[in-house]
A and B are shown apart, each in its own frame.
Chain A
Amino acid sequence: DTGVSQDPRHKITKRGQNVTFRCDPISEHNRLYWYRQTLGQGPEFLTYFQNEAQLEKSRLLSDRFSAERPKGSFSTLEIQRTEQGDSAMYLCASSSSKMGYEQYFGPGTRLTVT
């Protein structure tokens, strides 16, 4: 078990560009979550997948954000037309519905929009 992995670890982009992040959950985990964390705050929920189905999406998530989990394994999070306010750490977590709700977080992707 290699844990949750995320790629890239760091991303610097110019305002207006599109970015895509990838998350590989723990292999047997059917649930996958995306969170956003800014300095001094707790992680903020963005969206949730059970297998390949996106079951919940935060109302705070603008239309510029989209996430997929096409085969119920890895997931991607895309941000279109990035804004400076999108600068944050994007965390992915996974869990197993057989083991309760405890979530295992990846190392995160730190996005800086200049």
Chain B
Amino acid sequence: GQQVMQIPQYQHVQEGEDFTTYCNSSTTLSNIQWYKQRPGGHPVFLIQLVKSGEVKKQKRLTFQFGEAKKNSSLHITATQTTDVGTYFCAGVGGTSYGKLTFGQGTILTVHP
């Protein structure tokens, strides 16, 4: 079945440093979504990427979808303490509409 791998598992940064997490799928995706989960909270939708090579920005966050639609990345510029949490990518395969296959997540810690 479809598998989504995410690296790194943990990332510790000083406030103001940049952060990147990478996501790879074993199969071609119809779209990929990114979610953020704060400690003790539930996943919150950040963005959806659909097109090959797509790049989207949300303030300090930049999301990319690979040309082959099998990989993606999330980059945060100049991290803040409010960025703390676990960032998940989640892929939607071509044959399973709606169903998300989540990566293991990257836990981001920001030291002030």
Chain A residues with a Cβ under 8 A of chain B: 31, 33, 35, 40-45, 48, 50, 56, 59, 91, 93, 95, 100-108
Contact = CB atoms under 8 A, between A and B. Distances in A.
A45 B101 contact: yes
Contact of B33 (A41, A101, A106, A107): A101
B32 to A, nearest CB: 10
Contacts of A59: 1
B104 A101 contact: no
A113 B25 CA distance: 33
A56 B105 CA distance: 24
6 contacts: A42-B105, A43-B43, A95-B98, A101-B33, A102-B33, A105-B42
B82 interface: no
A95 B31 CA distance: 15
Taking residues whose C-beta sits less than 8 angstroms from the other chain, chain B's interface range is: 20 to 34
Nearest to B88: A42
Interface stretch (B11-19, B69-77, B89-97): B89-97
Nearest to A41: B104
Contacts of A102: 33, 45, 48
A103 B104 contact: no
Contact of B42 (A44, A50, A106): A106
A45 B42 contact: no
Nearest to A100: B48
A60 to B, nearest CB: 10
Contacts of B90: 42-43
Nearest to B47: A102
A107 B40 CA distance: 9
